[in-house]
Structure 1
Amino acid sequence: MFSGITGIINRGEKLKGTVVLMQKNVLDVNELTSIKSNPVGGIIGGAIGGAFGAVGTVLDTATAFLGRNVALKLISATSADGSGKGKVGKQTFLEGVITSIPTLGDKQNAYSVHFEWGSDMGIPGAFYIENFLQHEFFLVSLTLEDVPNHGTINFVCNSWVYNDKKYKSDRIFFANKTYLPSETPAPLVYYRQEELKTLRGDGKGERKEWERIYDYDVYNDLGEPDSKPTLGRPVLGGSSTLPYPRRGRTGRKPAKKDPKSESRSGTVYLPRDEAFGHTKSSDFLAFILKSASQNIIPSLKSVVSKEFNNFEDVRSLYDGGIKLPTNFLSNVSPIPLFTELFRSDGASTLKFSPPKVVQVDHSAWMTDEEFAREMIAGVNPHIIKKLTEFPHKSKLDSQKYGDNTSTITKEQLEPNLGGITVEQAIQNNKLYILDHYDIVYPYLRKINATETKAYAARTILFLQNDGTLKPLAIELSKPHPDDDSYGPVSEVYFPASEGVEASIWLLAKAYVVVNDSCHHQLVSHWLNTHAVVEPFIIATNRHLSTVHPVHKLLLPHYRDTMNINSLARNVLVNAEGIIESTFLWGGYALEMSAVAYRDWVFTEQGLPNDLLKRGVAVEDPASPHGIRLLIEDYPYASDGLEIWAAIKTWVGEYVSFYYKSDAAIAQDAELQAFWKELVEVGHGDLKSATWWFKMQTRAELIEASTILIWIASALHAAVNFGQYPYGGYILNRPTKSRRFMPEKGSAEYAELSKDYQKAYLKTITPKSDTLTDLTIIEVLSRHASDEQYLGERIEGDLWTSDAQPKEAYKKFARKLAEIEEKLVKRNADESLRNRYGPVKMPYTLLYPSSEEGLTFRGIPNSVSI
């Protein structure tokens, strides 16, 4: 019983170490985000539960005092036992009393530990840890000092450790050495392989909170068919009809009314270390999202009118605010972000921050120049393509949907081409198209059967001599009233600046933007960053050891992604969730994103290949990045190429350090297993060999890693952190259309002639949905206080013990700082009109650094919000 105390007194010549850990926080996010009906009571309950009650506290304190708190055993990397496994040292315990009373802050506690470690044991390379406390703690690190014949050894852990009885196998951590599988010290080979087996699990049963098992499943948890039939949703993934990337498997039971669907619950299993950090601001953002959807937003909708009266009414959201009942705040939870929104001047007032798009000029968003500029510098800047054929053709099945060739004619365009023909404009790279047609059109009949009314849209633009884009025509199409086989009913609209024609043109642009808003949120943002990255995270943890160089390279770019994705499935993209409720695509939103995924090709996701595929750039060896932009002043592309090149240079130096030849790539068993499973299972619905690298050369590994890092960092930043700055003004980026274009002679046309603002507002997103949109996208556009940006690592300088990769990473960080200075200078060049536009809003989304909050800049390492 006194073994712990005796160990402290009789240290002798033991190996000294320091363990850093954090105890479970009172406001643990996993408890907070499970709260549904009573957030305030839930916080109080979480605090009480976080203290584990009086009995648990006494037990843990007594256990710690008796020296039976947290036990460690070192494992040798250089000395093997009779079986070939590294020798395991004697068990020892942390020194000092550990209580389970949690702290409110992100407090790290350091504890001394001494190991018996004879000269015959060699150099430690790993350690086991056992937690005998009642509750989990977050293990930050172990540092061994003055190891004979070696010096200091660092073990970077950053992992939750539960009570030992929760685990089927011992928790093990490796030193911050980096080894290819073939170069692993023989005594550590067994431990490396066993840890990966533990992480893979057996694919059976429902996963538990404390588990660390990574496995795959289809998206069959979006609906709730057991609640009511209208909440059923099709399974995404596992078929060629609705292919999808895989998500993390939870193992929840099938729904009773639809065995193909998984039943839902308030919490979603995640491998424990994928949960948000200890007191990470994003924890509270996650809590806010859930509280907003279940508490704040329903309360707001119950007390505000459905419609805006005029544009000034919209602006009052930021200027004067919305007056609410005096007792409103007593019915909602006191969450810090929301208390910022609610002002009190005798009555509760809801007031949003002014979005950047209207901070300088309230009406510049209405201009054609700004409408076009946001296609290359807005929140969805990578959809526009060069027009290569005329008329533009659809890829839809003509037997099923009729002839969907564009009805825009040369005669309609050529008066505005500055004296050249359409053929000459195409040849001179002057014509471009924003095409929201093929994904949308097959769903229009279903969408238009609801309260929403929509079109498939094509917008033709002309590149002018001053570098700006001018919209020439918008084609709006809807299905023939008799049958799809008759083809669409289409109408073409043209720019106008006076009279009812100007109002018609403003509405035509709104229909385009509604399509673009849906495509942005469901495809560009959710699918092409959040969803496509998750299989990489799962495959990495199943097949690449923590000591594998590629694991260490990619780890920062996975931070918090599975957690935010699970949260999204719970409250954002689920049946009748926030996205379905406030965006045009409604109940078909995720299904339509699956249609878009059919054309997703991994090798085309890197920026240069994307630009080439869309025809907005051409190969040019003389250009700095090997390609030349046809729209020279293309803020997203020109800034992005700088970031892309920096990432690729860093990755190239890193890969070349660990892999001395292409043969080493092919011979790396872990890497090959990772890639094979990623392609055949994680993205198994798109496993065509031509869509993926074969992963046989260093060049392929460098390109693949660069693409993944680009997606998780810069691409996500470009499509995420501009949501509120651009979309926070609903007139600029509406998410719904509720009426068709008014026809001459109709009451709606007369209303449009008389009061275009009211007609516009009756057409786009209603007031109640606008409040939902603004509340949520303001949260999603914010940076957390402890965000990790590109060029930073949470482990600091300890992520590897190899000096050359560490120096290369520091060089990468310095390069990013240089790029930021370069981008600031670009934005100061007023000759580049697309950099700031009529709204006087410089393009800053790809500035690498940022402060906390709503900054409209900053590239986090990962898809973390």
Structure 2
Amino acid sequence: MGVYRVCVSTGASIYAGSKNKVELWLVGQHGEVELGSCLRPSRNKEEEFKVNVSKYLGSLLFVKLRKKHFLKEDAWFCNWISVQALGAAEDKYWFPCYRWVVGDGVQSLPVGTGCTTVGDPQGLFQKHREQELEERRKLYQWGSWKEGLILNVAGSKLTDLPVDERFLEDKKIDFEASLAWGLAELALKNSLNILAPWKTLDDFNRIFWCGRSKLARRVRDSWQEDSLFGYQFLNGANPMLLRRSVQLPARLVFPPGMEELQAQLEKELKAGTLFEADFALLDNIKANVILYCQQYLAAPLVMLKLQPDGKLMPMVIQLHLPKIGSSPPPLFLPTDPPMVWLLAKCWVRSSDLQVHELNSHLLRGHLMAEVFTVATMRCLPSIHPVFKLIVPHLRYTLEINVRARNGLVSDFGIFDQIMSTGGGGHVQLLQQAGAFLTYRSFCPPDDLADRGLLGVESSFYAQDALRLWEIISRYVQGIMGLYYKTDEAVRDDLELQSWCREITEIGLQGAQKQGFPTSLQSVAQACHFVTMCIFTCTGQHSSIHLGQLDWFTWVPNAPCTMRLPPPTTKDATLETVMATLPNLHQSSLQMSIVWQLGRDQPIMVPLGQHQEEYFSGPEPRAVLEKFREELAIMDKEIEVRNEKLDIPYEYLRPSIVENSVAI
């Protein structure tokens, strides 16, 4: 009994509104009432009306809705519905939706307070939870793009995806328009340069236009400097490979006459200033064949020393792993002839691009986020607090990954056209990299400790990653603490346990042997696991993604392929370097793709700034506001720090870290 004010919010995307009529029901603890056909929802509008209910409902649990069409089905994107009881109590209820309403079936929106199965002793939401997960498991099924990889969502085409995983129109238009622009730029570059000679490093300037960044110009001007070469291992596009040496690598064999070099390395090792970047993951990967021309790969090892001024300087490069029965591979030094040393560094940079795009970016960013997404949709109902906590960080991941599988790493895709790991080598590398997906490596406090980067003052990636992890961790603890008061509450949450097990045993194909948990036994362990998921989808992906435009636009600094074999002698010339680096078309296509994927995204949501409100009530909102305050403080402090740096480190600034893997 009483009067209720009902407000219905419709999304802002182009087709969010509907000409169909929407019927509503209110469901409370003590009954249900039909409100009838209340509205035809209009795009980007909040529509409000009052209803007089003659039945006592008690506390509201659900709003049920049905969209009825007469002649034409017309999907509706519902943001949320709020219901306020008018009178003495003035109770207000929030029912989040944030999905498309399609067809004419009845849908139920549970109240936004959120609860676990443990927190629902009367089973008020039990039937809804079971029905929702049953429907979701039909929509979200596991698939396997390639044998031997972690799993992905089933379906090979965009139309196979659930409608709620698709780009909204603004995102779709921007993405496809930028692709068309990039291809047009590629055609123009090729037509303007096809008859011009391609003989010197300066010739790369002929395609170095449109969409480059300030730092990309700095890279173009300084890419041959050893200090910039070393800097990239600390703070470039792929800061995930560098580690402090605890001994000289077994693969580093010193040919006769290299005793002085060995002594120098041992001196740095003893001082704790010796670092290494080992690309052994590329060993024995089959190299691509592009237009009947064999391409080449190397598996370099780089040894570097950390100077007192914070610069990381290369000491030696080994391009090949030693082979039994063969002479030791040559070691390339900064004292070698300039073109010899430059060519060795180009091989390292090309190897770094392959490992960056396939291992650090695709596998450890995109494909991991896809596992989290599918497992979440299959195991956690929308009323579950962990679903509410993590779902903003899963937005658009499935579509961007399907697009990648259909355009970048597909047969005859970009990798096959220009990358030395294309033509099947990229799949082989992904398969081999799966063995290194350890739980510790996805958690910066553990990963940075294992790699010896804690306390390295010139590693801005390490400093910012650790701080951002801690901020996200406090946010997760704040939300989880509202729903899990004891470790027993975690252990007894069967949905949470199912979600964890689905990620580790199914999505990650038995990753418990790499340290991933199959169950969560305490509040602390659950918070750590959820923090890992959110950080992977936000800060970690952004730290790898955002540097592409800066570091990969100048092609000699990140060659997509190498057209001659790795050198075994020290007689390289400029002609050798140019014959090894990518040709005009390969370079132009690399720049076009890097621009499309690395440019500033006009349709993006910064970390923590999602407009969707999945939680209702003041306590979760207060936790979110505290999270946003801490992010703003970190952002400002990075801005102040960067003003003093020769090369600002931006990739973990909260204001430009995307809230999900959406590009």
TM-score by length of 1: 0.71
Map Cα deviations across residues 560-579 of structure 1 (whole Å, 9 max, x no partner).
11111111111111112112
Letter in structure 2 aligned against 1:407: V
The one of 12, 17, 25 aligned to 1:73? 25
2:620 equivalent among 800, 805, 809: 805
Asked if 1:675 corresponds to 2:526, the answer is no
Work out the CA distance in 1 between the residues paired with 2:513 and 2:229: 38
Q: Distance in 2 between matches of 1:16 and 1:413?
A: 84
Q: How many residues align?
A: 655
Pairing 1:284–2:99 present: no
Aligned equivalents of 1:145, 1:843: Cα separation in 2: 48
The Cα of 1:667 is off from its aligned counterpart by 0.6
Q: Find the aligned partners of 1:718 and 1:550 in 2 and give their Cα distance.
A: 25
Moved beyond 4 Å, runs of 4+: 113-116, 289-304, 444-450, 485-489, 741-745
Partner of 2:198: 308
| Counterpart residue number, 1:431 | 274
Q: Please give the alpha-carbon distance, in whole angstroms, between the structure 2 residues aligned to 1:765 and 1:154.
A: 57
The structure 2 residue matched to 1:153, chosen from 74, 81, 93, is: 93
For structure 2, which runs of at least 5 residues remain unmatched after alignment? none
Q: Verify the 8 A CA contact 1:92 1:115 in the aligned structure 2.
A: no
Letter in 2 for 1:71: E
Report what 1:347 is aligned to: none
SS at match of 2:97: strand
Q: 1:787 aligns with which of 583, 601, 604?
A: 604
* Cα distance between partner residues in 2 of 1:847 and 1:476: 35
Aligned to 1:249: 154
Provide the rounded CA distance (Å) in 2 between the counterparts of 1:74 and 1:503.
76
Structure 1 residue 353, shift from structure 2 partner: 2.9
How many angstroms apart in 2 are the aligned matches of 1:545 and 1:776? 38
Q: Is the 8 A contact 1:413 1:422 kept in 2?
A: no
**For residues 332 and 523 of structure 2, what CA distance do their matches in structure 1 show?**
51
1:848 aligned to 647, 654, 660, which one?
654
Structure 2 counterpart SS, 1:90? strand
1:173 is aligned to 2:109: yes
Does the CA-based 8 Å contact 1:180-1:658 persist in structure 2? yes
Q: Percentage identity across aligned positions? A: 22
Distance in 1 (CA, whole Å) between partners of 2:126 and 2:47 is: 30
Match of 2:642 in 1: 827
Bigger drift between 283-292 and 819-828 goes to: 283-292
- Residue in structure 2 matching 1:120, options 53, 56, 61: 56
Relative to structure 1, is the Cα distance of residues 582 and 447 closer, same or farther in structure 2, using a 3 angstrom cutoff?
closer
Which structure has the higher relative contact order (CA within 8 Å, separation 6+)? Answer: 2
Shift of 1:486: 4.6
In structure 2, the residue matched to 1:21 is 10
Aligned position for 2:238: 380
Which residue number corresponds to residue 215 of structure 1? 141
User: Is the CA contact (8 Å cut-off) linking 1:582 and 1:769 kept in structure 2?
Assistant: yes
Instruction: Describe the SS at the equivalent of 1:806.
Output: helix
Residue 181 of structure 1: SS of its match in structure 2?
A: coil
Residue type of the partner of 2:450? K
Q: Alpha-carbon deviation of 1:378?
A: 0.3
How far apart are the structure 2 equivalents of 1:675 and 1:155?
26
Name the residue aligned to 1:599: 436
1:230-269 to structure 2, matched below 5 A, reads 235-236=146-147, 242=148, 244-250=149-155, 267-269=158-160
Give the 3-state SS of the residue equivalent to 1:633 in structure 2.
Answer: coil
Asked if 1:88 corresponds to 2:32, the answer is: yes
Moved more, 582-591 or 798-807: 798-807
2:237 partner letter: V
Question: Which of 265, 285, 299 matches 1:443?
Answer: 285
Alignment-derived partner of residue 198 in structure 1: 135
Output aligned runs, 1:484-563, within 5 Å. 486=325, 490-496=329-335, 501-563=337-399
Q: 1:367 aligns with which of 214, 219, 225?
A: 225
SS in 2 for 1:825: helix
Pairing 1:465-480 to 2, within 5 Å after superposition:
465-477=308-320
Q: Aligned-pair distance for 1:421? A: 5.0
Opposite residue 439 of structure 2, the aligned amino acid is F
The 1:546/1:645 distance shift into structure 2, 3 A limit, reads same
Contact 2:4 2:86 in 1 (8 A): yes
1:565 aligns with 2:401: yes
Question: CA 1:410–1:132 in structure 2 vs 1: closer, same or farther (change >3 Å)?
Answer: farther
Q: Distance in 2 between matches of 1:454 and 1:791?
A: 40
Gap change, CA 1:489 and 1:542, over 3 Å in 2: same
Offset of residue 435 of structure 1: 0.5
Aligned equivalent of 2:460, options 632, 635, 657: 635
Q: Is the 8 A contact 1:603 1:692 kept in 2?
A: no
Structure 1 equivalent of residue 560 of structure 2: 735
Q: CA deviation at 1:152?
A: 2.2
CA separation of 1:597 and 1:450: change in aligned 2, threshold 3 A: farther
**How far 1:179 moved relative to its partner?**
1.0
Work out whether residues 534 and 562 of structure 1, in 8 Å CA contact, stay in contact via their aligned partners in 2: yes
Structure 1 position 362, deviation (Å): 4.4
**Closer/same/farther in 2, CA of residues 362 and 771 from structure 1, 3 Å limit:** closer
Alignment root-mean-square deviation, CA: 3.0
Checking the alignment, whether the CA contact within 8 Å between 2:255 and 2:330 is kept in structure 1 is: no
- Structure 2 counterparts to residues 340-355 of structure 1, below 5 A: 351-355=209-213
Change in Cα spacing, 1:488 to 1:708, as seen in structure 2 (3 Å) is: farther
| 8 Å Cα contact 1:356/1:726 also seen in 2 | no
Tell me the secondary structure at the aligned position of residue 56 of structure 2: helix
Shift of 1:290: 5.7
CA drift of 1:295 comes to: 7.5
| Residue identity opposite 1:247 in structure 2 | N
Q: Return the alpha-carbon distance in structure 1 between the equivalents of residues 7 and 169 of structure 2.
A: 20
Give, in whole Å, the separation in 2 of the partners of 1:479 and 1:389.
18
Is this contact kept in 2: 1:457–1:515, CA < 8 A? yes
Alpha carbons of structure 1 residues 674 and 380: separation in structure 2 relative to 1, 3 Å: same
Residues 683-719 of structure 1: CA deviation (Å, up to 9, x unaligned): 1243427433631111111111111111111111111
SS at match of 1:788: coil
* Structure 1 residue identity aligned to 2:353: S
Task: Quickly say closer, same or farther: Cα 1:308–1:711, change in 2 above 3 A.
Answer: farther
State the Cα distance separating 1:380 from its structure 2 match: 0.3
Residue 3 of structure 1: aligned partner:
none
- AA of the residue aligned to 1:18: C
- Deviation at 1:557? 1.1
- CA displacement at 1:283 relative to structure 2: 1.8
Q: Paired residue for 1:334? A: none
Q: What is the rounded CA distance, in whole Å, between the counterparts of 2:225 and 2:602 in structure 1?
A: 36
Contact 1:454 1:739 in 2 (8 A): no
CA contact (8 A) 2:2 2:85 kept: no
1:187 to partner: Cα distance: 3.1
Amino acid at match of 1:508: A
Partner of 1:139: helix, strand, or coil?
strand
CA distance in 1, matches of 2:415, 2:394: 24
Match of 2:103 among 146, 163, 170: 163
Aligned mates of 1:369, 1:422 — CA distance in 2: 18
TM-score by length of 2: 0.91
Mark the structure with the bigger radius of gyration.
1
- Decide whether aligned partners of structure 1 residues 479 and 580 sit closer, same or farther in structure 2, where only a CA change above 3 A counts: farther
